[in-house]
Amino acid sequence: METEVTKNIIGSSLPEHTLKVFDPQKNDIVDKKLSEFKGKWLVLFFYPADFTFVCPTELEELADLYEEFKKIDVEVLSLSTDTAFTHKAWHEKSPAISKVKYPMGADTNAFLAKTLGVYIAEEGLSQRGTFIINPEGVIVAQEVNDNSIGRSAKELLRKIRAAQYVASHDGQVCPASWQPGDDTLTPGADMVGKI
């Protein structure tokens, strides 16, 4: 399988796009514009397909931490190339997915998966891609895994907290495994005498 290397999209603005979304809290399918998420932090959480094996473990873990995401003004939007009707059926049938309260987007034409470089054309599916978007609609972090490797919602929450910290503390950066309350670094000042 040949693939082309995509450019780094960190710092790029999320494109305007409207998609069908299954809203579990309303038990309804609605049209949602990505611009409606501006003003708060957003996670785009791509997964290959509904009714699969690894995907429900990831979406359930996100569901278990969803209230923690909301407390820090973060919305989660899961995405696959399945239809919103398939998302609704999965939500009704799966004990794990029935816990999901965040919106489940239908990227049926793979516009977002292609735009963000996570589309697998041969399969019509997306890779496990995670994108953190700031309130201005700019991508500040991305993670892409092979579809055989599940992600950690706890680590995603940690990354968002770090992104929020540096966004509100000009000149500060967060070291590896940083948690709220840990020391941060000031590039330049923290390097004096260490070279």
Written as one letter, the residue type at 79 is L
Is 55 one of the annotated active-site residues of the chain? yes
Q: Which of 34, 43, 55, 113 is catalytic?
A: 55
Rg over CA atoms, the chain: 17
Residue 109, token pair as written in the block: 């034409």
Q: Which two tokens stand for residue 190?
A: 């923290």
Give the residue from 176, 174, 179, 177 showing the smallest Cα distance to 187: 174
Q: Do β-strands 119-120 and 125-126 pair in parallel, antiparallel, or remain unpaired? A: antiparallel
Which pair of tokens denotes residue 3? 């693939």
| Buried/exposed code over 140-171 (b: 16+ C-beta within 10 A; e: otherwise) | bbbebbebeeebebeebbbbbbbbbbeeeeee
Helix residue ranges, H only, 14-83: 54-71
- The string of DSSP codes covering 103-164 is -EEE-TT-HHHHHTT-EETTTTEE-EEEEEE-TTSBEEEEEEE-TTS---HHHHHHHHHHHH
- Residues assigned a catalytic role: 55
